[in-house]
Structures are given as C-alpha cells and as structure tokens.
Amino acid sequence: MSRSLLSLVVPFYNEEEAIPGFFAQVVPALEAIAEIDFEIVCVNDGSKDRTLTLLAEAAEADDRVLVVDLSRNFGKEAAMSAGLAEAQGHVVVPFDADLQDPPEVIAKLVEKWREGYDVVLARRSDRSSDSYLKRQSALGFYRLHNKLAEVKIPENVGDFRLMTREVVNVLNALPESRRFMKGLFAWVGYRTAEVTYVRHSRCAGKTKFSGWRLWNFALEGITSFSTLPLRMWTYFGLLVAATSFLYAAYLVIRTLVHGIEVPGYASIFVSLLFFSGVQMIGIGVIGEYVGRIYIESKRRPLYVVRRRYGKSQQ
C-alpha cells in the first residue's frame, strides 16, 4: 500500500528567531508518525528579516521542505491560502511557526483522521500562556460572532487542524479574495472530530498581532459571515420612528392640558448630536459592506508568488 502524504502549511512573517527551533521540533514529530510521508510548505509572507534566507537554507538541506516566497506582505489569511494551494498532501495541517501549538499533537490529529473523519480540530483546553486581555478578547469575539453569524466558529479553535484533500480542494475553489479562514473552515463542514491540547508560550520572537490588527480581524470575521449588523439598523429605525410617534402624542396631550410651553434649546441640541452620531455609525456599517463588495468586484488575486525554493525549484 502507498503511504499517505501529510502537508504541513506554515506562514512565516519575520520569524528568524523561531526558525531553528521550529525545524528542530517539527521534523522529528512528523517523522515519528507511522506510515506517513510529509512535506512542510513554508510561506514567506514578505518578511523583512532573515526569514527567507533561513527557510531557503532549510529547503536546500531537506527536500521535504518547500518555500513559497510571496512578493510582499499579504497577511496571514492570504499566506495560509497560498500554502493550501501549494500543498500536495492527502491530508493538510495548517500550523503556526511560533510553536504555541505543540507539533506532537499532529499525531493525534492523524489518529482521528484514520478513524474516518474529514476534519479534526485542535481545541485549546488551556490558554494560560496567552495574556489575560488576549484570552478575554478572543472569548468575546467567538461569542459575538456566533450570536450574529449563521456559521458558528468553535470556541478556542484556531487554524491548527487536519483536513483531507477533499476539504482542501473545496477551500481552494472558493472565489472570494477577502478571506476569513476560521469562518471558511467552519463553512465547508464535513465530518468533524476534536482533539484537545494545552497551548504553549511562543518559542521565540514576538506576536505580530497588535490590538488594532486583532480588532480589524474580528471586524473582518463578522462582516464576512453575517448581515445582521445591516439588518439591525432597520430595526433601530423602526424603534426610533415608533418612539417619535409616541412622543408626538405626548406633546399633543400636554399642549391640550397645560398649553404651549417655550421649548428648550439644550434638548434639541443633544438630540441632534445623538441622531447625527447614530446616522454616522449606520453609514460606517454600510460602508464596511460596500467596501467588501468594491474589493471583491476587482477580482485581484489573493497573493502573488515571487519564487519557490526546494523540491523541483518551481
């Protein structure tokens, strides 16, 4: 019987400090999995340090390593998509270069796949290695997203998972250029199992996700899979209209009972400011969706590959 091929897809962005430890831990962990051949698809997402140089050296030393060098920094979602498109394995595992996800867990994912599952999720049972703010913001995002969107994202599950070739082919065929991968992973469905693990601290370097980037990432996820923020403004408009009719009735009754009073300018000024702010927020929400339509309508490629290193030097 032919051995199955596992593709490990790893985006890299300014990770020169983590690369030596990455290969030192990941390669033995993959070699320890019985009856599995593997390839490591490394996507250099426009790094400005020595990341590309070190990856190219790794590809030259080990023909199981393929390096895909993007022409600039396109972001993790695009880099992940590039890796999925390059992967040739029967099963594909997205993975992070910082080793917060232990590579030994990959063997457990393979065991579940051999039981017949198409997707095996790696769920974090302990995130104490992350900061309190990151843990709470992540929990808040998952809960908010799952209340707003029809497609539910499993809590405490990142990109780390195993997917069969059939699932990856479906993901690669999706046409959108603005991708929220966690949502797309959940959207495709298929028979799914879970494996729990304890998340570690970064092996080296610093996280590339600032608070502002995390906020934009969350906004991308919500607008990608829910139109409820748009629908909410319809409900709010109906509420304001109903309130105005009730207030108008109150004014009529008060005038009949007490006569006409001189109105105050303070209440009018506050009302104008409030509803002007509400209108601007509504326009901003609409703008988020119009902006997505504008970007998608251009049909630009998700990423541009500058060069490949390793294997056949494609």
Q: Give the DSSP H/E element, type plus range, for residue 9.
A: strand 4-12
180 phi and psi, to 5 degrees?
Answer: -110, 95
Give the pLDDT confidence score for residue 248 in this predicted structure: 67
Q: Which amino acid is at 242?
A: A
- Residue 151, Cβ neighbours under 10 Å: how many? 17
- Residue 65, Cβ neighbours under 10 Å: how many? 24
Give the pLDDT confidence score for residue 1 in this predicted structure: 47
Give the pLDDT confidence score for residue 246 in this predicted structure: 72
Per-residue confidence band for 214, with pLDDT thresholds at 50, 70 and 90: low
Of 40, 46, 39, which Cα lies nearest the Cα of 12? 46
Give the pLDDT confidence score for residue 9 in this predicted structure: 92
Give the pLDDT confidence score for residue 231 in this predicted structure: 66
CA distance 258 to 246: 18
Single pTM value for the model: 0.67
Is residue 43 over pLDDT 90?
yes
What are the b/e assignments for 155-170, b being 16+ CB within 10 Å? ebbbbbbbbbbebbeb
40 phi and psi, to 5 degrees?
Answer: -115, 110
pLDDT digits (tens, 9 = 90+) for 119-131: 898 888 766 655 5
CA distance 152 to 23: 34
DSSP string, 160-176: EEEEEHHHHHHHHH---
pLDDT digits (tens, 9 = 90+) for 155-198: 777 888 899 999 999 988 888 877 778 778 888 888 888 888 88
The more confident residue out of 158 and 263 is 158
Delimit the CATH 3.90.550.10 region(s) of the chain: 4-211+302-309
CA distance 12 to 47: 7
CA distance 76 to 13: 8
CA distance 72 to 76: 12
Structure tokens at 22: 């990455």
Q: Which amino acid is at 32?
A: A
Structure tokens at 36: 């599995």
Helices and strands of the chain, counted as H and E runs: 10, 8
Q: Which amino acid is at 197?
A: Y
Report angle CA 156, 123, 101 to the nearest 5 degrees.
95
The answer as to CATH 3.90.550.10 being correct for domain 4-211+302-309 is: yes
Extract the runs of DSSP E, i.e. beta strands, from 220-295.
none
305 phi and psi, to 5 degrees?
Answer: -90, 125
CA distance 103 to 23: 10
Give the pLDDT confidence score for residue 309 in this predicted structure: 87
Least confident of 138-142, 152-156, 177-181: 138-142
Per-residue confidence band for 94, with pLDDT thresholds at 50, 70 and 90: very high
CA distance 113 to 157: 17
CA distance 289 to 273: 25
